[in-house]
Amino acid sequence: MLSQPLALPEQLALAEPATIATALQWACLLLAPTSDSAQLDAEVLLLHCIKKRRAFLYTWPEKPLTPEQVKSFEALVQKRHKGLPVAHIVGEREFWSLPFMVNDTTLIPRPDTEILVETALSLPLSTYAKVLDLGTGTGAIALALASERESWEITAVDKVDDAVALAIANRENLKLTQVNILQSDWFSAVKARDFDLIVSNPPYIDETDEHLHQGDVRFEPQSALTAAEEGFADLYYIAKTARDYLKPNGYILLEHGFEQAVKLRAKLVELGYENVATVRDFGSNDRCTLGKWAE
Ligand code: GLN
């Protein structure tokens, strides 16, 4: 005889009384079909509701949740179930171990971009290096660099006013007030021949890329994601124009798609950069390429 069909997880409310462990288990079941990071999503959403740090979840799995916590957790999990990025639901994403406020006006900082920060920090630059971050978005790259190099003179720019406002809010929140943040269409508001290092994580996804219809990118602004010429237009523009904005022996360092390294290296060499090299991210994908402007 056939048994009663099981209720689908999405039809279940979180059973009360709920504990940390039962709440996480419920959310994982609900999110697993639509998210490939269900466990992490559930943990970040629960921590947001109970206002605790990660270790708390493992130390106190039996701890009961209050009815208010259950209600708010259910609401957040339902939003995630509809596809909304976790970072947008909680309004925050960690990058370089720093908390960044996020919203839908910019790209959500990615762990992949930490390799760009690490590479920038490894360059032989002076204690008082002048650094430019183009298309800063939340300010993640510029502020992460500032958190490591107090005496660097860092300028971060974005074309979008809302992004500039968000980066400034992050700067204030992180108390990294030495970073100069301004509105600029790429180089339009900065001085020529002024920088020892120019970094950028520009839009580099091809406009027809399938991956634009999946996951978090559906909720991020197109202007931060896609570029013409199979995603190369902004990378090439920045590489070409940066030559006028770098000091002699300054570096350019660009994030790009994992299949764009060969062409981008060729372009940098063609433009006259030296010591051109690509660095892989922690997933072993080609992720950023640098060159030295020796003139
Ligand atoms: N790395 C991001 C992604 O593939 C895109 C970031 C970008 O276009 N700069 O989702």
Report pLDDT digits (tens) over 53-63: 889 999 999 99
Q: What pLDDT was estimated at residue 3?
A: 45
Q: Which atom of ligand 1 is found nearest the CA of 215? A: 10
Q: What are the pLDDT digits (tens) for 137-190?
A: 999 999 999 999 999 999 999 999 999 999 999 999 999 999 999 999 999 999
Say if residue 11's pLDDT is above 60: no
Mean pLDDT in residue range 117-145: 98
Mutate to test the pocket of ligand 1, among 107, 222, 288 (most ligand atoms within 8 A of CB): 107
Angstrom distance (rounded) from CA 19 to CA 37: 21
Q: 3 or 20: which carries more pLDDT confidence?
A: 20
Confidence of residue 16 (pLDDT cuts 50, 70, 90): confident
Question: Does any ligand 1 atom lie closer than 6 A to the CB of residue 232?
Answer: no
pTM of the model: 0.93
Write down the pLDDT at residue 59: 95
Q: Of the CATH numbers 3.40.50.150, 2.40.10.220, 3.40.1280.10, 3.30.70.1450, which one belongs to the domain with range 92-293?
A: 3.40.50.150
| Residue 5 confidence (pLDDT) | 47
Cα(224) to centroid(ligand 1), Å:
8
DSSP state of 48: H
**CB of 115 closer than 6 angstroms to any ligand 1 atom:** no
pLDDT of amino acid 104 = 96
Q: With pLDDT > 90 as the criterion, what percentage of the chain qualifies? A: 93
Which CATH number, 1.10.3720.10, 3.20.10.10, 1.10.8.10, 3.30.300.10, labels domain 20-83?
A: 1.10.8.10
Question: Is a pLDDT exceeding 50 seen at residue 292?
Answer: yes
CB crowding 154-192: b at 16 or more within 10 Å, else e: bbbbbebeebbebbbbbbeebebeebebeebebbeebee
Is the separation of the CB atoms in 122 and 251 below 8 Å? no
pLDDT over 70 percentage in the chain: 96
Tell me, in angstroms, the distance from the centre of ligand 1 to residue 54's CA: 27
Q: Which residues of 91-107 are buried (b: 16+ CB within 10 A; e: fewer)?
A: eebebbebebbbeebbb
How many angstroms separate the alpha carbon of residue 109 from the centre of ligand 1?
9
Pocket lining: 201 vs ligand 1, CB cutoff 6 Å: yes
Q: Is the C-beta atom of 110 inside 6 A of ligand 1?
A: yes
Ligand 1 within 6 A of CB of 225: yes
Query: What would the pLDDT profile of 216-241 be if each residue is shown by its tens digit?
Result: 999 999 999 999 999 999 999 999 99
Provide the mean pLDDT of the chain. 95
Q: Which two tokens stand for residue 179?
A: 């970073």
User: Which atom of ligand 1 is closest in space to residue 204's alpha carbon?
Assistant: 8
Structure token digits, residue 60: 């106190």
**Ligand 1 centroid distance, CA of 27 (Å):** 27
Same fold, 20-83 and 92-293: no
Query: Does ligand 1 have an atom closer than 6 angstroms to the CB of 140?
Result: no
- Between 14 and 83, name the one with better pLDDT: 83
Ligand 1 atom at shortest distance from the alpha carbon of 225: 8
> What are 247-274's pLDDT values in tens digits?
999 999 999 999 999 999 999 999 999 9
User: How do the domains of the chain map onto residue ranges?
Assistant: 20-83, 92-293
71 within ligand 1 shell (Cβ under 6 A): no
Mutate to test the pocket of ligand 1, among 159, 204, 230, 285 (most ligand atoms within 8 A of CB): 204
Quick one: which atom of ligand 1 is closest to the CA of 107? 6
The CA–CA distances, whole Å, from 117 to 7, 51, 152, 240 equal 47, 29, 14, 22
